[in-house]
């Protein structure tokens, strides 16, 4: 039986795992009304009011629906297999793209964020003047633009995850539209990364090819320079320069816990640093993996092929150490699996097309990836599905 304390704890989970990255929901405010929210969910107040009306002290019907999504998402993060418990909480909720993502339903996540993006365009949230006209209070304007930019970031993220087009085009967004303030520096980094993704998408998928186009060396170097510039623009407190020394996971037993060697770094901050580092690696891997797609390409572009493999191995190493030292990976497996799959695919291509050059150097990295997926498959449906795919590759790799 769920208690008020449990509801408050789940809002804390949502705040640490989701809101720190996508600050759409004010979970602290919702947590302060945990009792009313729990009463509403239990159905003690069966009345239904028009959307926007206050139905509990300080809470509107919309607030209660958002609270249900936040709680459902937190439950999925904590227990990826216990989705039946949360199903009834989200039946009446329209915008739950993040929930779908954490349930390993990438296509539904992409579809629902597309609905949200189109609704934002209809409202005019992409234009500075419209936001200023619709919302008189500065706090309301900041919230509206913050929600819009979260949709923008998720639109890019889900599109790359599914190889399906964006809904929001950069040219459609008012260049004078305000961005979130420095309080949301991770979101600001993600917005800049979204613009980088737009350039990468144009280079990779400009003709609608599902697996991407070949990129000229000149374009590849330009995109690599843009990626490095983006990484250098990350605020120092969010930048992970050396995974061997900077990434020191904190205890997994408390959200406010800190690393013994880095007492000012809570676990949530370490997760954000790792995500930004992995995004930089992933972007560079997308740029250079074309040089691993055939034996001929490996031979003619050996330097770039080596670079792609180095990036992939670095990604696997970071993810393995992240899992070994904390529960950061285990709590958000679908998100981190995205980076692992791309890295393992690059290593597999390299070993298959140039075994003499890459089989031995990649042995430890591939073994670490296999061990990681096998370990996580015990607890998550998403990782169990990934393990079945990886396990099918093992016989062929052993022959190389």
- The answer to whether 344 and 320 have CB atoms below 8 angstroms apart is no
- The answer to whether 318 and 277 have CB atoms below 8 angstroms apart is yes
Q: What are phi and psi of 357, to 5 degrees?
A: -85, -35
Q: What's the pLDDT at 153?
A: 95
- In which residue are the tokens 């670095």 written? 314
For the segment 233-277, what is each residue's pLDDT rounded down to a tens digit? 999 999 987 766 555 544 333 333 344 334 445 788 999 999 999
CA distance 322 to 9: 24
Name the nearest CA neighbour of 88 among 27, 41, 156, 54: 41
Domain ranges of the chain: 1-93, 103-204+220-234, 268-399
For the segment 281-307, what is each residue's pLDDT rounded down to a tens digit? 999 999 999 999 999 999 999 999 999
CA distance 52 to 55: 9
For the segment 47-98, what is each residue's pLDDT rounded down to a tens digit? 444 444 455 567 888 888 889 889 988 887 876 554 444 433 433 333 457 7
């Amino acid at each position: 039986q769920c208690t008020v304390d449990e509801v408050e704890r789940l809002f804390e989970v949502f705040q640490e795992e989701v809101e720190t990255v996508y600050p759409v929901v004010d979970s602290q405010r919702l947590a302060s009304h945990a009792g009313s929210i729990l009463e509403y969910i239990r159905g003690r107040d069966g009345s239904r009011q028009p959307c926007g009306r206050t139905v509990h002290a300080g809470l509107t019907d919309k607030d209660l629906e958002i609270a249900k999504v936040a709680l459902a998402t937190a439950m999925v993060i904590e227990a990826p297999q216990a989705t039946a418990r949360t199903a009834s909480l989200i039946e009446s909720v329209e915008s739950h793209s993040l929930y779908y993502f954490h349930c390993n339903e990438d296509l539904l996540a992409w579809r629902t964020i597309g609905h949200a993006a189109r609704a934002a365009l209809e409202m005019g949230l992409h234009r500075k003047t419209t936001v200023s006209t619709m919302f008189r209070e500065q706090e309301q304007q900041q919230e509206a633009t913050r929600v819009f930019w979260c949709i923008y970031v998720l639109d890019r993220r889900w599109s790359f995850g599914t190889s399906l087009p964006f809904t929001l085009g950069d040219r459609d967004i008012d260049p004078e539209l305000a961005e979130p303030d420095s309080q949301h520096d991770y979101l600001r980094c993600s917005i800049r990364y979204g613009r980088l993704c737009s350039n990468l998408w144009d280079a990779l998928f400009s003709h609608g090819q599902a697996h991407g186009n070949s990129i000229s060396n000149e374009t590849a170097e330009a995109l690599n320079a843009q990626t490095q510039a983006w990484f250098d623009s990350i605020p120092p407190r969010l930048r992970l320069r050396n995974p061997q020394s900077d990434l020191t996971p904190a205890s997994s037993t408390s959200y406010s816990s800190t690393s013994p060697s880095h007492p000012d770094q809570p676990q949530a901050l370490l997760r954000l640093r790792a995500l930004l580092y992995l995004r930089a690696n992933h972007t560079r891997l997308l740029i250079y993996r074309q040089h691993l797609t055939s034996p001929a390409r490996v031979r003619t572009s050996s330097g770039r092929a080596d670079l792609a493999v180095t990036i992939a191995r670095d990604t696997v190493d970071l993810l393995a150490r992240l899992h070994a030292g904390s529960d950061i990976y285990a709590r958000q497996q679908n998100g981190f699996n995205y980076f692992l799959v791309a890295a393992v695919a690059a290593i597999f291509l390299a070993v298959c097309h140039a075994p003499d050059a890459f089989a031995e150097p990649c042995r430890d990295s591939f073994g670490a990836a296999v061990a990681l997926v096998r370990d996580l498959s015990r607890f998550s449906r998403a990782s169990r599905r990934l393990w079945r795919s990886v396990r099918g590759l093992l016989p062929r790799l052993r022959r190389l």
